[in-house]
Chains A and B, each alone.
Chain A
Amino acid sequence: GAVVSQHPSRVICKSGTSVKIECRSLDFQATTMFWYRQFPKQSLMLMATSNEGSKATYEQGVEKDKFLINHASLTLSTLTVTSAHPEDSSFYICSARDGGGHTEAFFGQGTRLTVV
């Protein structure tokens, strides 16, 4: 299947700093990528849909000024957690589809963010 690479896999940062997470589709072009957040023992929560060349579509309750998403090319989307706080500590996962909406979503490896 298609490969989505997410980096870094783990990051620890100080409260108040910003962290950038990258998501790359390695062998296909992804016009749309999705960013999820997952708390322990809970389901994936869609944060936003990232569209190449346009603004991301954020889900209700997700602060777009805090979670900056940039989808500058067909193979790269980035999520920047700005002014991170301990409550932002979570598992962040990106995914992309290789093709139309009926196709499976391929996931990045996920990023474990810990804010201290």
Chain B
Amino acid sequence: GQNIDQPTEMTATEGAIVQINCTYQTSGFNGLFWYQQHAGEAPTFLSYNVLDGLEEKGRFSSFLSRSKGYSYLLLKELQMKDSASYLCAAADSNYQLIWGAGTKLIIKP
């Protein structure tokens, strides 16, 4: 079956770095997405990886290893506003998004 796993909750300190991991199993693979979702709001797009390696975009970076079925989202210089849920989603052979349950990130001062 198709499955996405990511930690339920993580805590980090303002100014620090945090890495949120995601492992996936899908029927075919057409890319890995990361979204940020603040409570009560719709998700917003952060990154898309389809090739192996690290994609850097400002304070946020995303990494993909297709052979390992693994991705991570790296957040640097954490700010209080980064407190949110981070959703990992993999696109299968039909480009349908398979969603993880999300990782709730708590930032402490």
Closest to A6 in B: B42
Least Cβ–Cβ distance between B90 and chain A, in angstroms: 12
Q: Please, which residues of chain A bring their CB within 8 A of the CB of B96?
A: 46, 49
Q: Which of A81-113 contact B (CB under 8 A)?
A: 91, 93, 100-102, 104-110, 112
| Tally of contact residues, B, Cβ under 8 A | 22
Asked if B13 is at the interface (CB within 8 A of a chain A CB), the reply is no
A109, B95: Cβ atoms closer than 8 Å? no
Q: Please, which residues of chain A bring their CB within 8 A of the CB of B44?
A: 107
Asked if A43 is at the interface (CB within 8 A of a chain B CB), the reply is yes
Q: Please, which residues of chain B bring their CB within 8 A of the CB of A49?
A: 96
Given contacts A42-B101, A102-B31, A102-B95, contact A1 B45 (CB under 8 A): yes
B100, A105: Cβ atoms closer than 8 Å? no
Q: What band does the interface of chain A fall in when counting residues whose beta carbon is under 8 Å from B?
A: 20 to 34
Asked if A12 is at the interface (CB within 8 A of a chain B CB), the reply is no
- Contact with A102, one of B42, B45, B91, B104 (Cβ below 8 angstroms): B91
Q: CA separation between A106 and B50, bound complex, in Å? A: 18
- Contact with B30, one of A43, A102, A108 (Cβ below 8 angstroms): A102
Q: CA separation between A104 and B95, bound complex, in Å? A: 11
Q: CA separation between A100 and B31, bound complex, in Å? A: 12
B87, A44: Cβ atoms closer than 8 Å? yes
Q: CA separation between A110 and B42, bound complex, in Å? A: 6
Q: Please, which residues of chain A bring their CB within 8 A of the CB of B101?
A: 42-43
- Contact with B100, one of A43, A102, A104, A110 (Cβ below 8 angstroms): A43
Given contacts A101-B30, A102-B50, contact A108 B97 (CB under 8 A): no
Contact with A along B71-109 (1 / 0, CB 8 A): 000000000000000010001001111011110100000
